[in-house]
Amino acid sequence: MLFESKLFASGIYKVIKMNLHEYQAKSILRAAGLPVPNGEACSNSEEVVAAFNKMPGGKAVVKVQAYAGGRGKAGGVKVVDNATDAKAFADKWLGNRIVTFQTKAEGQPVSKILVEECGSVARELYLGATIDRSSARIVFMASTEGGTEIEKVAAETPEKIFKAVIDPIAGAQPFQARALAFKLGLTGDLMKQFTKIFLGMNKLFVEKDLSLLEINPLVVTTDNNIVCLDAKLNIDSNALYRHKRFSRNGRSDSRRSA
Question: Is residue 149 annotated as a catalytic residue, yes or no?
Answer: no
Is residue 126 flagged as an active site residue? Answer: yes
**Which residue among the candidates 126, 149, 151, 207 is catalytic per the annotation?**
126
Nearest to 224 by CA among 187, 199, 179: 187
Sign of the Cα torsion 112, 118, 122, 128 reads negative
Who's near 186: CB < 8 A, 6+ residues apart?
194, 220
Residue 105 has φ and ψ, to the nearest 5°, of: -60, -30
Find the catalytic residue in 4, 116, 124, 214.
214
Tell me the C-alpha distance between 112 and 67, whole Å. 11
Amino acid identity of 253?
D
Q: What is the largest CA-CA distance in the chain?
A: 54
Which residues participate in catalysis according to the annotation? 126, 214
